[in-house]
Structure 1
């Protein structure tokens, strides 16, 4: 008979106070599992943006007219609320799926051996961004889809994608001191690219706030700006990002840069071309909902692509832990 281990009151209290430590003590995920967990959180952070766009583009932004309940008397959608209620409530439920994905990433990172504090912190940063954005989403509903709060909601989602991208990258490298793979001028050029992409996303939210897709079937306040002018500014910034990406690829080829920065830059250039085609087609076809939704997905992919270019400019080697006791040579000699 296998003896049953005694569980003391102190052990039980420790498990309640720090369940992650309890899981980590009993489970060691493979590096592949940790990478998949981080990738799942990144994928869900993109999915929640796209489905949020679907809520707006179908006019379902106030399908649930209040928050945190769906109606004053019901936590969930009702049959009387129809299609719009289902869409809005379904998007709210996806927040729990996102939380589950982020939670899995945190648990996997906390349980990895050796323990990597920086990786766990990136997971927790995603959790708190999700919580903050959930509250902000509720405020968006309570203020009747005010375009400024909608813009802030999207920008916070972009911050979530950024952190999730960094965590995914960090699961595939060590914790050593970063070693640059390119020179200072190239690094500065990429930071200009990141800045231009950030401005592109920010102006994109203004295009949305001033544009015709208000998110609800009734009259909703729009930003008091000329939509055509803002759209042209958005296009100029897009061309700046494309030009910087092409110039970066040319410079990396000229300095015989390593494979990783070149590959990431090439991938970003392809994404930008596809996004540009979608952007111009939707502009000249008066913003059909399907293309606007596809453009939102492209925006997320562009942002991820830019960040991956930045992260590819350096490498982090594995940190070799010091082994306690006799050295490896002494151990081998003793065994011999």
Structure 2
């Protein structure tokens, strides 16, 4: 926790020294500091409520909000250092609106899949310790809805890739982010099915959570790249 706090404070201070910094970077840095403090309070709520799954879910989802701000901060800092506030893409052809819409859909499906995943965890055996309450949801049904959303997200990504390959300019600009996201998403889906058929061992649940964060980071980078 101390290491994380130090990293957040360092990023907040560092945003003031980035060449051609913009106001968004300052606010994102401040937001990270506020977010970490919020997580401290949420952590206390998790303990005081006996590892209630709703408080656990909130704790994780707020973490993803912090990850989102951190990703945007890194992207803004990289752009500012290289090109300045008024930077534009080095590509002359603008991204098509249909491409932006597809990226929005993939981002939305990915976010929905992650939220549904927290419901699966909250209803499953690892929502807390053995004394913690569980969400009163049908575990099999919510798991199927979660996995269907993941498959739909992957299918949308494959369709997106097929569309991109017809446009050389966009394919060149988005290829790396698309391939990284697809690889991480498929790996995450594989871990999900593995833990389901293996009886949901705690170790695989931890791996699944780590991959969920990796999926979110990769889809955010894809979405950001589709806007420039």
Q: TM-score, normalised by structure 2?
A: 0.91
Q: Map Cα deviations across residues 177-218 of structure 1 (whole Å, 9 max, x no partner).
A: 6668420011011101111111111111100110011322x4
Q: How many corresponding residue pairs?
A: 220
Q: Among residues 305, 310, 325, which one is paired with 2:223 in the alignment?
A: 310
- Consecutive unaligned residues in structure 2, runs of 5 or more: none
- CA contact 1:110–1:116 (8 Å) conserved in 2: no
- Consecutive unaligned residues in structure 1, runs of 5 or more: 1-94, 316-336
> 3-state SS of the aligned residue for 1:293?
helix
| Superposition map of 1:287-302 within 5 A | 287-302=200-215
> 3-state SS of the aligned residue for 2:134?
coil
Report the structure number with the largest CA radius of gyration: 1
Q: Among residues 140, 152, 169, which one is paired with 2:58 in the alignment?
A: 152
Classify 1:115/1:172 alpha carbon distance in 2 versus 1 (closer, same or farther; 3 Å).
closer
Classify 1:115/1:213 alpha carbon distance in 2 versus 1 (closer, same or farther; 3 Å).
closer
- CA contact 2:52–2:128 (8 Å) conserved in 1: no
| Superposition map of 1:1-336 within 5 A | 95-174=1-80, 175-176=85-86, 181-216=94-129, 218-256=130-168, 257-315=170-228
- CA contact 1:181–1:313 (8 Å) conserved in 2: no
Q: Map Cα deviations across residues 57-77 of structure 1 (whole Å, 9 max, x no partner).
A: xxxxxxxxxxxxxxxxxxxxx
CA RMSD of aligned residues (A): 1.5
The offset of 1:115, in angstroms, is 4.3
The offset of 1:125, in angstroms, is 1.0
Q: Map Cα deviations across residues 284-310 of structure 1 (whole Å, 9 max, x no partner).
A: 000111111111111001001110101
Higher helix share: 2
Classify 1:178/1:230 alpha carbon distance in 2 versus 1 (closer, same or farther; 3 Å).
farther
The offset of 1:274, in angstroms, is 1.0
